[in-house]
Amino acid sequence: MVQAGELSTPRRSRTPRAAHAGGRSRHAPRWRVLAVFLLPAVLLYSVFIVYPLLSAFDYSFFEWRGIRQAGFAGLDNYRDLFGVYPYDRQLWRAFAHNALFFAGTMLIQNTVGLLFALLLFRYGRGKRFLQAAFTTPYLVDPLVVGYLWSLLLNPTFGPVNALLEAVGLDSWALPWLGDTRTALPVIIVVNAWQWVGFPMLLFSAALAGIPAEYHEAARVDGASAWQAFRRVTLPLLTPAIGVVSVLTFIGNFNAFGLVYAMAGSTGSPAGSTDVLGLLFYRVAFVEGGVEAIGRSSALAVLMFVFIFGVSLLATSYFRRRERMLV
Amino acid sequence: MRYRRLPALAAASPETRKARRRTRWIAGAVGALALTLAACAPGGGAAGPGETADAGKVTLSLWSWRVEDVKAYEKILAAFEKSHPRIHVEFKAFQATEYNNILATGLSGADGPDVAQLRAYGGLQPLVEAGQLVPLDGKVDALSGFDPKLLEGAKGHKDGKIYGVPFAYQTLQVLYNKKLFADNGIRPPATWDEMIAAARKLKAAGITPFAVAAGPDATWTLPIVHEIFGNARYGSTKFRDAVLSGDKKFTDPGFTASIKLIKDLEPYFPKNVVAVKIPDVQALFATGKAAMYPTGSFDLAPVLQANPSLEVGAFQVPPPPGSPVSTPVTPGWADGSFGINAKSPHQAEALELVKWMATPEFGRLYATELKQLSAVPGVSPSDPLLAEMAAGYAAHGAPYMLLVDFRYGQPNGDAVFRDELQKMLAGQTDPAAVAESLQKGVEQWFKPGN
Element housing A317 (H / E): helix A292-325
Separation in Å, CA of B40 to nearest CA in chain A: 13
Rounded Cα gap, residues B6 and A162, in angstroms: 61
Q: How do residues A71-80 score in pLDDT, each as one tens digit? A: 999 999 999 9
Rounded Cα gap, residues B382 and B43, in angstroms: 44
User: Is residue B84 predicted with pLDDT exceeding 70?
Assistant: yes
Q: Of A170, A99, A143, A169, nearest to A263 (Cα)?
A: A143
Q: Which of A10, A25, A59 is the last residue of a domain?
A: A59
Rounded Cα gap, residues B310 and B380, in angstroms: 23
Chain A CB within 8 Å of residue B384 CB: no
User: Are A155 and B30 within 8 A, CB to CB?
Assistant: no
What are the Cα distances from residue B331, in Å, to A13, B82, B399? 79, 37, 5
Q: Are strands B58-64 and B87-93 parallel, antiparallel or unpaired?
A: parallel
- Domain for residue A238, yes or no? yes
Closest residue in A to B25 (Cα–Cα)? A36
Mean pLDDT to the nearest integer, A14-24: 46
Residue in B4, B270, B274 closest to A15 by CB: B4
The whole-number pLDDT of residue A27 equals 67
- Domain with residue A204: its CATH number is 1.10.3720.10
pLDDT tier at A276 (50, 70, 90 boundaries)? very high
Name the most confidently modeled range: B92-106, B200-214, B271-285: B200-214
- Domain for residue A271, yes or no? yes
Using DSSP, state whether B357 is helix, strand or coil: coil
Separation in Å, CA of B186 to nearest CA in chain A: 26
With beta carbons under 8 A apart, name residues in chain B contacting A66: 104, 125-130, 132
What are the Cα distances from residue A224, in Å, to A64, A219, A228, B18, B146? 65, 7, 6, 62, 86
User: Is residue A136 predicted with pLDDT exceeding 90?
Assistant: yes
What count of CB pairs under 8 Å joins A to B? Answer: 173
Separation in Å, CA of B78 to nearest CA in chain A: 34
The whole-number pLDDT of residue B96 equals 86
User: Is residue A15 predicted with pLDDT exceeding 70?
Assistant: no
Indicate whether A126 and A239 sit together in one domain.
yes
Chain A CB within 8 Å of residue B216 CB: yes
Indicate whether A86 and A38 sit together in one domain.
no
Indicate whether A38 and A172 sit together in one domain.
no
Rounded Cα gap, residues B12 and B19, in angstroms: 10
User: Is residue B187 predicted with pLDDT exceeding 50?
Assistant: yes
User: Is residue A1 predicted with pLDDT exceeding 50?
Assistant: no
pLDDT tier at A26 (50, 70, 90 boundaries)? low
Q: Of B152, B171, B150, B168, nearest to B392 (Cα)?
A: B171
Indicate whether A99 and A243 sit together in one domain.
yes
Indicate whether A270 and A178 sit together in one domain.
yes
Selected residue of B4, B24, B419, B423 to mutate for chain A interface (largest A Cβ count, 10 A) = B419
DSSP per position, B125-159: HHHHHTT-B---TTT-GGGGGS-HHHHGGGB-TTT
Domains of chain B by start residue, with CATH: 58-168+333-390 (3.40.190.10), 171-331+392-443 (3.40.190.10)
Using DSSP, state whether B340 is helix, strand or coil: strand
Domain that holds residue A117: 77-325
User: Are A66 and B127 within 8 A, CB to CB?
Assistant: yes
User: Are A66 and B23 within 8 A, CB to CB?
Assistant: no
User: Is residue B15 predicted with pLDDT exceeding 90?
Assistant: no
Chain A CB within 8 Å of residue B280 CB: yes
C-alpha dihedral, B204 to B209 to B213 to B214, nearest 10°: -60
With beta carbons under 8 A apart, name residues in chain B contacting A40: 29-30, 33
DSSP B122: G
Residue in B34, B277, B410 closest to A289 by CB: B410
Mean residue pLDDT across chain B: 88
Residue in A156, A263, A288 closest to B100 by CB: A288
Rounded Cα gap, residues B22 and A36, in angstroms: 11
**What are the φ and ψ backbone dihedral angles of B94, each rounded to 5 degrees?**
-125, 160
- Domain for residue A67, yes or no? no
Q: How do residues B192-209 score in pLDDT, each as one tens digit? A: 999 999 999 999 999 999
Mean pLDDT to the nearest integer, B348-360: 97
Indicate whether A278 and A170 sit together in one domain.
yes
C-alpha dihedral, A255 to A259 to A260 to A265, nearest 10°: -90
- Domain for residue A72, yes or no? no
Residues in CB range of B16: below 8 A, 6 or more apart: A23, A26, A27, B10
The whole-number pLDDT of residue A246 equals 97
Indicate whether A220 and A287 sit together in one domain.
yes
Indicate whether A114 and A255 sit together in one domain.
yes
Rounded Cα gap, residues B140 and B58, in angstroms: 21
pLDDT tier at B410 (50, 70, 90 boundaries)? confident
User: Is residue B51 predicted with pLDDT exceeding 70?
Assistant: no
Separation in Å, CA of A88 to nearest CA in chain B: 11
Using DSSP, state whether B225 is helix, strand or coil: helix
Mean pLDDT to the nearest integer, A300-309: 96
- Of A118-132, B23-37, B150-164, B186-200, least confident by mean pLDDT is B23-37
Indicate whether A109 and A246 sit together in one domain.
yes
Indicate whether A30 and A175 sit together in one domain.
no
Give the total residue count for chain B: 450
With beta carbons under 8 A apart, name residues in chain B contacting A179: 272, 274-275, 426
pLDDT tier at B363 (50, 70, 90 boundaries)? very high
Q: Are B266 and B209 in contact (CB under 8 A)?
A: no
Residues in CB range of A78: below 8 A, 6 or more apart: A60, A298, A302
Rounded Cα gap, residues A121 and A86, in angstroms: 50
Closest residue in A to B419 (Cα–Cα)? A270
Mean pLDDT to the nearest integer, B431-446: 96
Q: What percent of chain B has pLDDT over 90?
A: 76
The whole-number pLDDT of residue B450 equals 61
Indicate whether A93 and A172 sit together in one domain.
yes
Bridge partners, residue A65, by sequence: A68
Residues in CB range of A127: below 8 A, 6 or more apart: A120
DSSP per position, B288-329: TSEEEEEEEGGGHHHHHHH-TT--EEEEPPPPPTT-S--S--
Q: What per-residue string of b and e applies to B63-102 under the rule 16 or more CB within 10 Å gives b?
A: bbbbeebeebbeebbeebeeebeebbbebebbeeeebbeb
DSSP B221: G
- Domain for residue A64, yes or no? no
Chain B CB within 8 Å of residue A34 CB: no
Helix axes A238-253, A197-208, angle to 10 degrees: 160
With beta carbons under 8 A apart, name residues in chain B contacting A87: 411
Residue in B7, B274, B444 closest to A269 by CB: B274
pLDDT tier at B110 (50, 70, 90 boundaries)? confident
The whole-number pLDDT of residue B289 equals 95
Indicate whether A85 and A160 sit together in one domain.
yes
The domain total for chain A is: 2
Using DSSP, state whether B121 is helix, strand or coil: helix
Higher pLDDT, B194 or B47: B194
Q: What percent of chain A has pLDDT over 90?
A: 71
Mean pLDDT to the nearest integer, B214-243: 95
Element housing B82 (H / E): helix B70-83
Farthest CA pair distance, chain A:
84
Chain B CB within 8 Å of residue A89 CB: no
With beta carbons under 8 A apart, name residues in chain B contacting A291: 409-410
With beta carbons under 8 A apart, name residues in chain B contacting A157: 280, 283
Chain B CB within 8 Å of residue A106 CB: no
The whole-number pLDDT of residue B79 equals 96
| Degrees to nearest 5, angle at CA B424 with B421 and B425 | 90
Residue in B7, B104, B418 closest to A15 by CB: B7
Closest residue in A to B425 (Cα–Cα)? A270
pLDDT tier at A172 (50, 70, 90 boundaries)? confident
* Displacement of CA B447 from its chain's centroid (Å): 25
The whole-number pLDDT of residue A258 equals 96
Q: Note which residues in 233-272 of chain A have CB less than 8 A from chain B.
A: 262-264, 266, 268-272
Residue in A270, A285, A286 closest to B422 by CB: A270
Rounded Cα gap, residues B187 and B200, in angstroms: 14
At position A40, the amino acid (one-letter code) is P
Separation in Å, CA of B53 to nearest CA in chain A: 32
With beta carbons under 8 A apart, name residues in chain B contacting A36: 23, 26-27, 30
Q: How do residues A97-127 score in pLDDT, each as one tens digit? A: 999 999 999 999 999 999 999 999 988 788 8
DSSP B330: E
- Domain for residue A8, yes or no? yes
**What are the φ and ψ backbone dihedral angles of B341, each rounded to 5 degrees?**
-65, 125
Chain A CB within 8 Å of residue B16 CB: yes
With beta carbons under 8 A apart, name residues in chain A contacting B250: none
With beta carbons under 8 A apart, name residues in chain B contacting A45: none
Closest residue in B to A267 (Cα–Cα)? B216
Chain B CB within 8 Å of residue A25 CB: no
Rounded Cα gap, residues A308 and A250, in angstroms: 8
Chain B CB within 8 Å of residue A68 CB: yes
